[in-house]
């Protein structure tokens, strides 16, 4: 297997794992569910939630795609598109997490 693929798989897994860590940490500390509703307040708190939501986005996208309202019939194309977006976002954030971890380990 090509080493580039192994790096991509590691970055994808690290991105989803870090998104889960951030989401669980937020929910554990605040007792509220992490989601986009935090942006609806329209004040300074909404701006403070943006970095949190950027890091937690892969998990939030997948959770939104797969947890539907009762009686809702899932759209398979929509789920596939959301999963691809979450995967790309996770790959990018995972690469960032691994690069920062590498820099911290080298220092």
What's residue 92's pLDDT?
94
Pick out the chain residues at pLDDT < 50: none
Structure tokens at 97: 């997490």
92 within 8 A of 8, measured Cβ to Cβ: no
What's residue 107's pLDDT?
61
35 within 8 A of 59, measured Cβ to Cβ: no
What's residue 68's pLDDT?
66
What's residue 78's pLDDT?
83
Predicted TM-score of the model (pTM): 0.83
What's residue 46's pLDDT?
81
């Amino acid at each position: 297997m090509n080493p580039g693929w192994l790096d991509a798989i590691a970055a994808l897994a690290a991105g989803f794992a870090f998104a889960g860590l951030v989401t669980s940490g937020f929910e554990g500390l605040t007792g509220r569910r992490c989601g986009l509703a935090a942006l609806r307040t329209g004040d300074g708190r909404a701006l403070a939630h943006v970095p949190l939501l950027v890091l937690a986005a892969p998990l939030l996208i997948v959770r939104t795609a797969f947890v539907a309202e009762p009686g809702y019939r899932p759209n398979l194309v929509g789920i596939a598109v959301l999963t691809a977006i979450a995967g790309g976002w996770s790959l990018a954030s995972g690469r960032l997490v691994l690069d920062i971890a590498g820099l911290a380990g080298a220092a």
